[in-house]
A and B are shown apart, each in its own frame.
Chain A
Amino acid sequence: MYIHSSSFDLQGERKSMYKQSENSFFKCGEKTSPISVILVTSGSRGNKLLFRYPFQRVADCTSSLTTKQRSPYALNTTGDVLEDPDGDSREQTPLTDEQLVAGFSDIILATILATKSDMCGKKFELKIDNVRFVGHPTLLQHPHTIQVSKTDPSPKREMPTMILFSVVFALRANADPSVISCMHNLSRRIAIALQHEERRCQYLTREAKLMLAMQDEVTNMTETDGSPQSPFRQILPKCKLARDLKEAYDRFVKTPYKIMYLWIVSLFLQCRCNNRVCCVSSLCTTGVVRLHINNWLEVSFCLPHKIHRVGGNHVPPEALERSLKAIRPYHALLLLDSEKALLAQLPLDCSPALVRLIKTCSAVKNLQQLAQDADLNLLQIFQIAAHLVYWGKAIIVYPLCENNVYMLSPHANISLYSPLAEGFGQQFPSHDLPSMLAKFSLPLSLSEFRNPLDASVQEAQLIQMVVWMLQRRLLIQLHTYVCLLVPPSEEEPGLLRDEELPLVARVGGRSLSTPSALSFGSPTSSDDMTLTSPSMDNSSAELLPGGDSPLNRRMTETLLASLTEHERQVILNIPAAQSPEDLRMFARLLHYFRGHHHLEEIMYNENMRRSQLKTLFDKFRSVLVVTNHEDPVISLFQSPLG
């Protein structure tokens, strides 16, 4: 919390509330973890709170107020702002998370969280002072379809019916909007599972009955014994649902950087009929924990905020998805765990496609080759790869080869005492990480790195080291980008023209986009997306006889027509332009010279060799500007983990 006044002592003992390095990890934890999970229902018996976690001992609740009022000068920490004329809630003394939600009694929570039925089926969001509640209230089936229990001794008594229920997560009010929507997503998925199980075997009604019975029992006990206890503590050992909810909460809060998995139910249901959808969605249960609703349905979920971090801030899921959609067939998938470890985490019923992919995957193989080797179509590979990346099990890199140039990542932790340094020392004894990293202070190609000064170090081990460093996001790869910039004439303002230059369309080059049906969870569409050698219109140019045929000349002219007169003149005046082949090649590649396509991409798309391109760049260097930097598309994956 930022207090903008000059009486604030930065160096002092007071905890700096916005100190980045150590506290940011806790701050992020606060903002991304739920503070409570609550289950409420509404039915013929009215609104009820079935379960909440964490629960407070009732004794604590009442005594906490009195103990805090020891000194008349002590701050009032119950969170009331009656005396605050500005109403600026940011200047309150920060309450602990437990105090925030514990202030709400069971009854009031039941009233406000069990909504009316017209709020069902939609996102529910309620903010009260510093707490934000998010859930997805769900209507259950109409009561008349529920069977009356045969063992019910008094047939005249009506079964108490449940009309709706809601699994609500309480968060801090200042939680990030994407976190809020993720928690809502989780609430919805649990709701779908519970709704399904309720329809199938009245699971929820049974659990609810148990919970309410426990609550009644404890209330009776309290009245007779006089010793207050929390009913929820008693409920936990008896109700599976309560334990599931507790586990969901615990996993989020206690393990901020591990991945939490709960399995997608709705897709599990669909997948019984459609095997292909099953294979896509059932991929990623490589989890530490699995939540089995009613010991039957798995609910799977992943909070990407915990996995993908860039220098202390989480990566919003939208940015992640955008990057995943920009993966190309020439990229490669680099697994972050060993093959064995990854396979061990998969459930028995996972798809064979995933297993095949993991087994054939390699850092030197691009996705297209992977498709061929694993005998899957490219679209499937893309989807599986995207899933693995989303769940933090793999990253996208450019396939390892001699000419790759790597440099130290600006986010790399090069501290002598970091856990990475320790891990490296264990993996590669007699080498230390900082020394290796220092070698990459200047951009170093893999071939240069592999010329060992120390002959005893094996080349294979050097490659392993590079892979190790890539997996831990210590290195970034630099690519060469080219931009066409013609020396201005005296009349020219020196700026580029306004048009966006969709040269791709004009030149008639092939589409440079990835298979378009890449979206999460959607069923596969086209099967044939092989992109081997470019089978495009322009390749006809290669087949034509070389030389200065009229057809070639015309084509070159067309290609150059998109330039201004001045630009054309300058280009044609270059000595290299006198060679028709060189000019033709230049014209054909013109649309890549906007600084957005790196050398390797041009090589892949146009089926050209690196040396050809480099020679061309050299010949036309008077109108081209070359620079090296990381690929923005995959730089997202080169950010460090938390």
Chain B
Amino acid sequence: MGTDRIECIFFSEFHPTLGPKITYQVPEEYISRELFDTVQVYIITKPELQNKLITVTAMGKKLIGCPVCIEHKKYSRNALLFNLGLVCDARTKTCALEPIVKKLSGYLTTLELESGFISNEESKQKLLPIMSTLLEELNATGACTLPIDESNTINLKLIEQRRDPLIVQEYDVPVFTQCKDHFIKSQWDLTTQQILAYIDGFRHIQKISAEADVELNLVRIAVQNLLYYGVVTLVSIFQYSNVYCTTPTVQSLIDDRSIQEECLNYVTKKGQKRAFLRDVFQLYCGLTPGTTVRDLCSRYSQQLQRVDERRLIQYGLIKALIRRLQKYPVKVTRDERSRPPRLYTGCHSYDEICCKTGMSYKELDERLENDPNIIVCWK
């Protein structure tokens, strides 16, 4: 938000004798005669394009507008055509500005229909200071509240658009990426408020649902919402029997000073002196396929004196320094008569199966180890 500047706000209309022209623009002279000639067909448009959000790129600039047409006998030529638009640099991403342009066109339409705001020459002049204020405030804070007259106020806000979040599964574990205390609880919806306390980076969705006494799907949606706003990220369930391995990103711990600082602060046991980078790096590198966290703890007990292994794993997953190796059972041979496997197809991990069936890992292990038809893949 606030990263893309609006360079200019313009008000264009169809003059009964002069044709399409720019009546006001802030700052002045920003749109050259040449530029307007090139793009005027997209600003004051044919009827088919009216009320549509039109963004055109020309001469290194992007113009976003929404042409309006109000038909009435009282206007010369029986119609009033105008367009209040924004101009940005051609490289700017302008999706967030579109709702603003639409809203503005709606406001002006209302004003015109209610009180002839635009067709009246005197009140039209008020547009210029309005446009100046808009430009200033939208660029500065991304929001603008501006009373126009006694009954109308313009409220605008730039809303950043984000990517769609992943689906949250019941075996996923949400963890805050920023300090929990930064958030004002009362700003969130009731469901989120109720589960906030249970998000500790170790409880998975199913557990949160059980402990907070909130229905599972509601928890999933609430966490998805938090994911959308980048407040949490998802990691996997922690167990001492888990297996992890390093990714190429682990080298960033060596390359990037800020990650080093953050990591060491995060993983050091409370009350201890800060852990050494070498120890932490050795611990991460000690995570290999076939090595459980338990094995790591026994092999590297010296390095773990100052390090909390759960937070070590958590940090590694959040920053993608390590990744979890999940077990996937696959039933490779079966009788012709027996049912086809539902869960043992290679698509469902142990985490998922245990969550869905309520078995523990150990139980599932015992069950599968004795079955000669089932092989297990790790990935």
* B56 to chain A: closest residue by CB: A126
Q: Mark B238-264, 1 if CB is under 8 A from A, else 0.
A: 000000011110110011010011001
A631 closest partner in B (C-beta): B248
By a CB distance below 8 angstroms, the chain B residues around A124 are 57
Q: Are B331 and A485 in contact (CB under 8 A)?
A: no
Cβ proximity bits B77-110 to A, threshold 8 Å, 1 near / 0 not: 0000000000000000000001111110110000
Q: Are A410 and B377 in contact (CB under 8 A)?
A: no
Contact A87 to B106, CB < 8 A, known contacts A105-B48, A435-B332 = yes
Q: Is B294 an interface residue (CB 8 A)?
A: no
What CA separation (Å) do A9 and B281 show in the bound complex? 44
Are B331 and A108 neighbours in the complex by a CB distance under 8 Å?
no
Over the window 195-206 of chain B, the binary record of Cβ atoms lying under 8 Å from chain A Cβ atoms (1 yes, 0 no) is 000000000000
A119 vs B42: C-alpha distance when bound (angstroms): 13
A 78-98 binary contact with B (CB < 8 Å = 1; else 0) = 001110111111000000000
- Nearest-CB distance from A186 to chain B (Å)? 18
Q: Which residue of B lies closest to A434 (CB)?
A: B330
User: Known interface pairs A87-B106, A494-B278. Does A441 touch B377 (Cβ–Cβ under 8 Å)?
Assistant: yes
Contact of A629 with B247 in the complex, beta carbons under 8 Å: yes
CB–CB B56/A483 < 8 A? no
Q: Decide: A81 and B48 in contact? CB cutoff 8 A.
A: no
Considering only residues 460-482 of chain A, those with a C-beta below 8 Å from chain B are 481
Give chain B residues whose Cβ lies under 8 Å from the Cβ of A116. Answer: 37-38
Is B46 an interface position by the 8 A CB rule? Answer: yes
Quick check: B48 and A10 within 8 Å, CB to CB? Answer: no
The residue in A119, A125, A434 that gathers the most chain B C-beta atoms within 10 A of its C-beta is: A434
Inter-chain contacts of A123 with B (CB < 8 A):
57
Does A495 touch B at the CB level, under 8 Å? yes
Task: Determine if A67 is an interface residue (Cβ-Cβ < 8 Å).
Answer: no
Do residues B248 and A414 form an inter-chain contact, with CB atoms below 8 A?
A: no
Chain B residue contacts of A160, Cβ below 8 A? none
How far does the alpha carbon of A84 sit from the alpha carbon of B53 in the complex, in Å? 13
The answer to whether B248 touches A128, judged by C-beta atoms less than 8 angstroms apart, is: no
Given contacts A6-B221, A18-B164, A438-B377, is CB(A126)–CB(B246) below 8 Å?
Answer: no
**Which residues on A sit within 8 Å (CB–CB) of B49?**
108, 112, 128
Instruction: Contacts A417-B345, A496-B260 given; indicate if A443 touches B225 (C-beta within 8 A).
Output: no
- Number of chain A residues whose Cβ lies closer than 8 Å to a Cβ of chain B: 78
The answer on a CB contact under 8 Å between A628 and B53 is no
Q: Is the interface of A mostly helix, strand, loop or mixed?
A: loop
In the complex, which residues 43-75 of chain A have their Cβ closer than 8 Å to any Cβ of chain B?
Answer: none
CA distance A126 to B276 in the complex (A): 55
Complexed CA–CA distance, A174 and B23 (Å): 32
Q: Is the CB of A127 closer than 8 A to any CB of chain B?
A: yes
Q: Which of B48, B105, B165, B248 contacts A104 (CB 8 A)?
A: B48
Interface string of A424-446 (1 = CB under 8 A from B): 00000000101101100111000
Contact check: which of B274, B289, B377 meets A494 at CB < 8 Å? B274
A296 within 8 A of B: no
| Residue contact A128 to B52, C-beta cutoff 8 Å | yes
A254 to chain B, nearest CB (A): 26
Please tell me if B10 contacts chain A, counting CB pairs below 8 Å. no
B248 touches A127 (CB 8 A): no
Residue interface mask A1-44, B partner, CB < 8 A = 1: 11010101111000010111000000000000000000000000
Q: B residues within 8 Å of A by Cβ? A: 34, 37-38, 41-42, 46, 48-49, 51-58, 98-103, 105-106, 164-167, 189, 191, 217-218, 220-222, 225, 228, 245-248, 250-251, 254-255, 257, 260-261, 264, 274-278, 281-282, 284-285, 288-290, 323, 328, 330-332, 341, 345-347, 375-379
29 sample A-B contacts, Cβ–Cβ < 8 Å, listed by A number: A11-B217, A16-B167, A87-B99, A87-B102, A116-B38, A118-B38, A123-B57, A124-B57, A127-B54, A128-B53, A408-B379, A414-B346, A414-B379, A434-B346, A438-B376, A481-B251, A483-B281, A485-B254, A485-B277, A494-B264, A496-B254, A496-B260, A594-B251, A595-B254, A595-B255, A626-B285, A627-B246, A629-B248, A631-B248
